[in-house]
């Protein structure tokens, strides 16, 4: 193990979207290094199962969950208040929840745009605001890390609402790093390349035709996908007290993918309307399955 098993003892970190994929991997990694972790999502059973799984692994009740829709500012504020009252102040926040699907921009409806941007941009702001203003009011320092993506620098066709909203969270990162440095609040972000997770791949690579650049391991100069433990180590460092002078940074962790150019969805330019209809049908089927489990 690279870091001491207890290096995050005394830390209390909230991870939005912590019940699945990367968020769950980060929850596991931080809990395995001694942190108390709070995970959010909209499906109670998914969160309960994730918390139970990790707690069994670490042999302690270190992971707690709340069903919260981060698009609802009042629900976010109430849930953060509940953590403060029941457990004590958070020391860290990971803005990780997101929504996304690939689609030709000309065919996007306003509601499709809103579904993605309200989650990625508004959700990250509401959570950051609810946590940050409590830190400031209580005179506490804290660490915020947002999970972005390298297309904040390159842009990417066919995921325009995501690219726009992630770029907005990058702007929030740089802006608040300056505004909140005097309170001891650090605001950073990570920009992962491809780390295949179940749901993201159903949304971004739902059919054989959609297997292009951004989701292909052989187009990563490092020749492989990322491993969540690597991302976990980076986030752990940013959540520890070991590098407090880093703030306002977005750190790529992508095996040099975005520097090598094919890491966007540009390859989807060749698809026909029929192929797009099939992609939408497959992605929507996955969404419907997940929506049926939502409790908020
Ligand atoms: C340079 C780049 C290098 C990087 C390379 C790395 C490669 C990977 C990079 C990955 C980066 C980011 C990844 C992610 O963010 S993956 C996250 C995936 N996870 C999720 O999306 C979880 C949450 N998802 C959801 O909640 C749903 O799936 C959904 C996104 C659909 C939102 O659900 P919601 O209930 O809010 O919305 P509705 O179902 O009511 O739909 C709202 C409108 O959107 C339209 N819609 C929905 N799905 C599609 C689709 N597949 N195609 C087109 N349109 C869609 C839907 O019809 C609604 O609109 P209308 O009412 O007008 O019909
Ligand atoms: N996988 C990859 O290669 C990459 C991923 N990323 C980023 O990493 C993060 C995690 O993605 P990944 O693990 O792959 O995908 P997942 O779909 O597994 O994770 C997204 C999580 O967000 C939660 N979520 C979505 N909407 C809301 C909402 N309104 N309120 C609360 N929670 C919500 C989902 O839970 P629920 O639906 O139950 O609410 C889910 O747990 C995202 O920010 C993504 O953009 C960045 C680059 C690459």
Q: Is 19 near ligand 2, meaning CB less than 6 Å away?
A: yes
**Total residues found in the chain within this entry:** 296
- Asked whether residue 30 is domain-assigned, the answer is yes
Task: Give the number of the ligand closest to the Cα of residue 115.
Answer: 1
- Asked whether residue 6 is domain-assigned, the answer is no
- Asked whether residue 232 is domain-assigned, the answer is yes
User: What is the structure's pLDDT at 262?
Assistant: 65
Residue 186's CATH number: 3.40.50.720
Residue nearest to atom 15 of ligand 2 (CA): 200
Domain count, the chain: 1
Task: Give the number of the ligand closest to the Cα of residue 24.
Answer: 2
User: What is the structure's pLDDT at 82?
Assistant: 98
Residue of 287, 291, 292, 295 to test ligand 1 pocket, by largest number of atoms within 8 Å of CB: 287
Q: Which domain holds residue 136?
A: 12-291
Q: Which residues contact 43 (CB under 8 A, 6 or more apart)?
A: 19, 67, 290, 293, 294, 295
What interhelical angle do 123-138 and 73-86 show, nearest 10?
40
Residue nearest to atom 46 of ligand 1 (CA): 112
Q: What angle do CA 143, 204, 195 make, to 5 degrees?
A: 45
Task: Give the number of the ligand closest to the Cα of residue 116.
Answer: 1
Q: How far apart are the first and last CA of the chain?
A: 37
- Asked whether residue 145 is domain-assigned, the answer is yes
User: What is the structure's pLDDT at 261?
Assistant: 73
Residue in this structure with the two tokens 């690579």, named with its chain if needed:
205
- Asked whether residue 215 is domain-assigned, the answer is yes
Count the neighbouring beta carbons within 10 Å of the beta carbon of residue 5: 11
- Asked whether residue 1 is domain-assigned, the answer is no
Element (H, E) at 253: strand 250-253
pTM over 0.95: yes
Residue in this structure with the two tokens 């752990």, named with its chain if needed:
236
Residue ranges, the chain, pLDDT below 70: 213, 262
User: What is the structure's pLDDT at 92?
Assistant: 98
Encoding tokens for residue 55? 């707690």
Q: What span, in angstroms and rounded, lies between the C-alpha atoms of 194 and 201?
A: 10
- Asked whether residue 4 is domain-assigned, the answer is no
| Three-state DSSP state, 143 | strand
- Asked whether residue 246 is domain-assigned, the answer is yes
pLDDT in tens, 18-49: 999 999 999 999 999 999 999 999 999 999 99
């Amino acid at each position: 193990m690279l870091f001491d098993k207890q290096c995050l003892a005394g830390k209390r970190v909230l991870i939005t979207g912590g019940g699945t994929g990367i968020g769950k991997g980060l929850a596991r990694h931080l809990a395995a290094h001694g942190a108390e972790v709070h995970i959010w999502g909209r499906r109670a059973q998914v969160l309960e199962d994730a918390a139970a799984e990790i707690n069994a692994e670490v042999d302690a009740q270190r992971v707690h969950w709340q069903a919260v829709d981060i698009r609802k500012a009042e629900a976010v504020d109430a849930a953060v208040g509940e953590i403060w009252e029941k457990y004590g102040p958070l020391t860290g926040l990971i803005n990780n929840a997101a929504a996304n699907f690939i689609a030709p921009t000309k065919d996007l409806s306003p509601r499709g745009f809103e579904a993605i941007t309200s989650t990625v941009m508004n959700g990250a702001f509401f959570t950051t605001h609810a946590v940050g203003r409590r830190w400031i009011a209580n005179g506490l320092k804290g660490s915020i890390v947002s999970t972005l993506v390298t297309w904040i620098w390159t842009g990417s066709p066919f995921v325009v609402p995501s690219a726009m909203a992630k770029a907005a969270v990058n702007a929030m990162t740089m802006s608040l790093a300056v505004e909140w440095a005097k309170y001891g609040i650090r605001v950073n972000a990570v920009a992962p390349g491809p780390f295949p997770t179940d749901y993201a791949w159903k949304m971004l690579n739902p059919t054989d035709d959609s297997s292009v650049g951004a989701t292909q391991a052989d187009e990563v100069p490092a020749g492989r996908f990322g491993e969540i433990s690597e991302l976990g180590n980076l986030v752990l460092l940013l959540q520890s007290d070991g590098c407090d002078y880093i703030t306002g940074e977005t750190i790529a962790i992508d095996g040099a993918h975005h520097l090598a150019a094919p890491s966007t969805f540009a390859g989807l330019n060749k698809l026909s309307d029929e192929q797009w209809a099939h992609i939408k049908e497959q992605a929507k089927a996955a969404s419907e399955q997940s929506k049926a489990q939502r409790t908020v």
